[in-house]
Amino acid sequence: MGYTPITPFGRTAEAVLGSLRARQQVADAPCPIDKWQILRDLTTARKSFELADRDITLLQALLSFHPEARLDPAHSLVVHPSNETICARANGMPNSTMRRHLSRLVEAGLLIRRDSPNGKRYARRVAGEKIAFGFDLSPLLRRAAEIAERAEETRLLDARTRALRETASLLRRDLAALADLGRIELPEGPWDALSDLARLTARDLRRKLDLDTLEDIERKLRAAVLRATRLFDVETIEMSSSEAQNEQHQQKSQKDSLDSEQRADVSVAPLQDASTCDDQAPQFAEKPAAPPPPLRLVLGTCSEIAVFSPDPIHDWPSLIRAAEKIRPMTGISDSAWADAKAAMGPEQASATLCAMLQRFSEIRNPGGYLRHLTRKAREGTFSSNRMVLALDRRAA
């Protein structure tokens, strides 16, 4: 007989080690968790586990056989219903279908089969201890943190995809409206191509698209709206420069140098890229809801800004300066205006203020209204194009 070490308390060393292991297992065991919360998280993240809707339906039925509301590692987590009972509780699922979905749950590591020697599912007590054969739900408890993490990732991805789809839809509507307006005011422009892009994009957005496809659509639409806007703005600046040149011939003044500078800027503005455009072209925030509306459209539709501005407005910098001077008179605070410029860019913020001035009597709280639009701009669901075009339609 081998030597068995004894502790000073009369217990064998193996018994002490076994007790320590049991305590460690209890300490490492997960805390009880609401079984329905685990199911909700798994429903959200089911695609990352390669599960289908009917897999979740079957798991819901199995969870309903567990008598407690929470999965507790201190109690048995084995359920042992018959196939007929499972099918009945799974909304009448066929037996063959039920077995197939059970296999998928086991393969995904969310269930463990505890088979009895004869293959039956049952529970009995032996020496006061319950022994059950059936489906073990403990993997759900052990992987609850992983399931919750994947569910949160899925929610964030869904929110980003939804916001990107809304932004793309907004840009598409802006592009279609600008194309319609361009056919009337600038018939020589590429409005048919831009209108076709808006129409084809509307068809694409009716389908379920992944994030990469939506980002590509949003990029193309943003570039197209920017192109359409510049076509209007170049025409506006050229007309303004021509008027200034005619005035220069009639009266010699100190405006000679300013007019020449404007004409020099106009000559290069159409050739610049959006990331390198100068003060004559719109400057954008990091992620604007949409490019600002055409300057020509703003000046033609929002005439109130010119009434309150002592200086002529003929380009974006002069419009921004006018908005900066008029903004304090509207009751909009410095912080609200700074937030709007940060979210929209100074051009779109100024265009928004012009549109607000045009219907100022209808706005009870200009500061609160601008903050609301700023929040929408950060979410990518606001475009001052819509405000200006709506005013244009109202005037018509």
Residue 53 · residue 43 · CB < 8 Å: no
Q: Which two tokens stand for residue 374?
A: 């700023």
96, β-bridge pairs: none
Instruction: Please write the tens of the pLDDT for every residue from 249-276.
Output: 343 333 333 333 333 232 222 323 333 3
* Angle subtended at Cα 192 by Cα 383 and Cα 316, rounded to the nearest 5 degrees: 40
Residue 376 clears pLDDT 70, i.e. is over it = yes
Q: How sure is the predictor about 214, in pLDDT bands with cuts at 50, 70 and 90?
A: very high
Per-residue pLDDT at 126: 60
Q: Which two tokens stand for residue 173?
A: 């509507």
Strand, helix or coil at 33?
Answer: strand
Residue 291 · residue 282 · CB < 8 Å: yes
Residue 322 · residue 377 · CB < 8 Å: no
CB environment 170-206: b (16+ within 10 A), e (fewer): bbbbbbbbbbebbeeebeebbbeebbebbeebeeeee
Per-residue pLDDT at 129: 64
Residue 28 clears pLDDT 90, i.e. is over it = no
Cα 202 → chain centroid: 19
Instruction: Please write the tens of the pLDDT for every residue from 55-65.
Output: 999 999 999 99
Query: Among 150-154, 263-267, 374-378, which range has the highest average pLDDT?
Result: 150-154
Q: Which two tokens stand for residue 68?
A: 């407690």
Amino acid found at 166: E
Task: Give pTM, 2 decimals.
Answer: 0.65
Average pLDDT, the chain: 79
Instruction: Please write the tens of the pLDDT for every residue from 99-113.
Output: 999 999 999 999 998
* Burial class of residue 30, CB neighbours in 10 A (0-12, 13-18, 19+): middle
Neighbour tally for 244: CB within 10 Å: 18
Strand, helix or coil at 250?
Answer: helix
Q: How far apart are CA 20 and CA 352, in angstroms?
A: 70
Q: How far apart are CA 278 and CA 276, in angstroms?
A: 7
Instruction: Please write the tens of the pLDDT for every residue from 68-86.
Output: 999 988 888 888 888 899 9
* Angle subtended at Cα 351 by Cα 375 and Cα 363, rounded to the nearest 5 degrees: 65
Average pLDDT of span 163-181: 91
In sequence order, which residues have a C-beta less than 8 Å from that of residue 299 and are 6 or more positions away?
Answer: 236, 306, 313, 319
Q: Which two tokens stand for residue 182?
A: 């361009």
* Burial class of residue 118, CB neighbours in 10 A (0-12, 13-18, 19+): exposed
Average pLDDT of span 335-341: 94
Residue 284 · residue 350 · CB < 8 Å: no
Residue 141 · residue 111 · CB < 8 Å: no
Instruction: Please write the tens of the pLDDT for every residue from 292-332.
Output: 888 888 888 888 988 888 888 888 999 999 999 999 999 99
Neighbour tally for 52: CB within 10 Å: 12
Residue 282 clears pLDDT 70, i.e. is over it = no
H helix runs in the chain, sequence order:
13-28, 35-44, 53-64, 83-89, 95-107, 138-142, 144-185, 191-204, 211-250, 255-268, 295-301, 304-308, 316-326, 334-344, 346-358, 366-378, 384-395
Per-residue pLDDT at 140: 93
Q: How far apart are CA 118 and CA 180, in angstroms?
A: 76
